[in-house]
């Protein structure tokens, strides 16, 4: 019984098989690291968007309270003017403060809406964004 050529081929190609195995393992490790990096980036994006949305929620609540206080101030200064207890300038100042606080509230609501959109996009992983953009 002689040794067949196929047996010699498999004996001498052991180094090539080992090299192919090492290359496959390296590609698998690269793919794992790329996946891990993508997951960590996605988690960070969601956390940042959620933090922004929560921060804006607190700001909207504070601005809403400020608008309520400004509205009360306008009412009090108008009453004071109508009863002849003060001039009209305090009414104008109170109206200016009310307008300013309403503008600030509108800006806070806008920013909160933008952060909600960012949060939704981050949580969805970008699903449907290409269709919505066109």
Full-model pTM = 0.66
pLDDT of amino acid 25: 92
User: What percent of the chain shows pLDDT beyond 90?
Assistant: 57
Domains and CATH numbers, the chain: 46-125 (1.10.287)
pLDDT of amino acid 63: 97
Number of H helices, E strands in the chain: 4, 0
The count of other CB atoms within 10 Å of the CB of residue 77 is 22
Judging by beta carbons within 10 Å of its beta carbon (0-12, 13-18, 19+), is residue 94 exposed, middle or buried?
Answer: buried
Over residues 2-13, the mean pLDDT reads 54
Res. 133: pLDDT tops 60 = no
Give the separation between CA 89 and CA 87, rounded to whole angstroms: 6
Q: What is the pLDDT of residues 99-127, one digit of tens each?
A: 999 999 999 999 999 989 988 888 887 66
Of residues 8 and 22, more confidently modeled: 22
SS3 2: coil
Res. 69: pLDDT tops 90 = yes
Res. 9: pLDDT tops 60 = no
């Amino acid at each position: 019984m002689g040794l067949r050529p196929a047996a010699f081929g498999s004996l001498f190609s052991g180094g090539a098989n080992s090299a192919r195995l090492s290359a496959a393992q390296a590609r698998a490790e690269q793919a794992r690291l790329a996946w891990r990096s993508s997951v960590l980036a996605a988690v960070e994006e969601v956390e940042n968007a959620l933090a922004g949305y929560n921060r804006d929620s607190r700001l909207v609540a504070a601005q809403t309270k400020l608008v309520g206080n400004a509205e009360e101030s306008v009412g009090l200064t108008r009453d004071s003017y109508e009863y002849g207890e003060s001039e009209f300038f305090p009414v104008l100042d109170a109206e200016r403060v009310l307008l300013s606080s309403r503008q600030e509230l509108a800006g806070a609501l806008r920013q909160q809406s933008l952060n909600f959109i960012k949060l939704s996009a981050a949580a969805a992983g970008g699903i449907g964004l290409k269709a919505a953009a066109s």
